[in-house]
Amino acid sequence: MGSLLPTPTSPLPLNLPHLPHLPHPPHPPHPPHPHREMTYRFKFRPYRRRFVRSLNTNHGEWDIRDGIILRLDDQAGGIGAGEIAPISWFGSETMEQALDFCRQLPTEITEETIFAIPDELPACQFGFESALEKMGSGEWGDAGTRGGGDAVKEFDMSVHPSISVSSFSGLLSAGEVALEQWESLWQQGYRTFKWKIGVYAIAIELKIFELLTHSLPASAKLRLDANGGLSYDEANLWLWTCDNLKANPEISLEIEFIEQPLPVDQLEGMLELSMFYGTAIALDESVATLGQLVNCYEQGWRGIFVIKPGIIGSPSQLRQFWQQHQIDTVFSSVFETAIGREAALKLATELSLHNRAVGFGVNHFFAEEETWLQNLWNNL
């Protein structure tokens, strides 16, 4: 690929006949500035993935994951891959808004373009910035970063190379399905599990919870994720139940935290509950984007922050905030492909203080991705 920099205009000849009295030759034009901003060729391709089984949460049923794979190429043959995986009902832009943004971009963009993506498009911010970071990091190895059409093969399709399966939290479906699911995940190496609550009647879920806590091995950890679906009284009952479980000498299972028990607009209630009970509360939907996270911190939240890198926004701005405030984080998936997962787990390894399991044990919700992802990448 040829250089994209403008060709300097040649200086005027010294002996032009129509300029006989020219005392000195004109100054040649300035050469291109050595720090001139790099341009990147930009391509993108949307994808659709169907869940093996519908994901039931308080937000409803989720059957299909839509997203966008993007590719940046520089003039030296470098390649950067990124992923835009919105969850609009969680606080990000819609898939349509993300597509519209990609469609209106030129085929060649700069870093300035990327860092100017507005905060209203957090999934786009993450996708473009992580592609740019991969471009400069050489993390894929020479075959991946230099002109390799098979660059996506360098992605670990299951877990991050530096993180063992035991450091992943395996997601259990809502309801009694969880009683059958945990065992196969345990055999794969998972030791922390997250179970969806706030989907069925609380009396039913509490009964299943009792069975689950007696079924899981003593060394397991369990997280409960309400997705903002509990009332104050229900959250109170769940926390009371978890505290009682902790006090039961016959059960060694650890309830690590309850995730987002109340809706986003009830931060005050969650702050209050966090002071009454020993069982920890983690914010999730309340801190979906970096702007929301900063707002909750400023309102006094010092508990656990669940960060979904795929929709949080700018990775560079998140790093800056974390370095200033050293918040207690748990990193979690947005059901992205291996491309987005690798970038998300890179952030998780950088910005975690307490070695909490990362919430990326979700592969069992999809069929194998390697073939179709490879094909999509090769066609970009």
List 134, 194, 221, 308, catalytic entry: 308
Pairing of strands 79-84, 60-73: antiparallel
Q: Is 194 a catalytic residue?
A: no
Q: Is 196 a catalytic residue?
A: yes
Helix (H, G, I), strand (E, B), or coil: what is residue 342? helix
Please state, as a whole number, how many other Cβ atoms lie within 10 Å of the Cβ of residue 378.
11
Helix (H, G, I), strand (E, B), or coil: what is residue 324? helix
Q: What is the CA radius of gyration of the chain?
A: 25
Contacts of 316-320 with CB under 8 Å at 24 or more apart are 316/115, 316/129, 317/290, 318/290, 318/347, 318/351, 319/347, 319/350, 319/351
Q: State which amino acid sits at residue 93.
A: E
Left (φ > 0), alpha (ψ -120 to 50) or beta: where does 26 sit? beta
Backbone angles phi, psi at 307, to 5 degrees: -110, 125
What gap in Å lies between CA 169 and CA 330, rounded to an integer? 10
List 196, 207, 246, 346, catalytic entry: 196
Tell me how far the alpha carbon of residue 108 is from its chain's centroid: 25
What gap in Å lies between CA 120 and CA 117, rounded to an integer? 8
What gap in Å lies between CA 289 and CA 272, rounded to an integer? 23
Task: Enumerate the active-site residues.
Answer: 196, 308
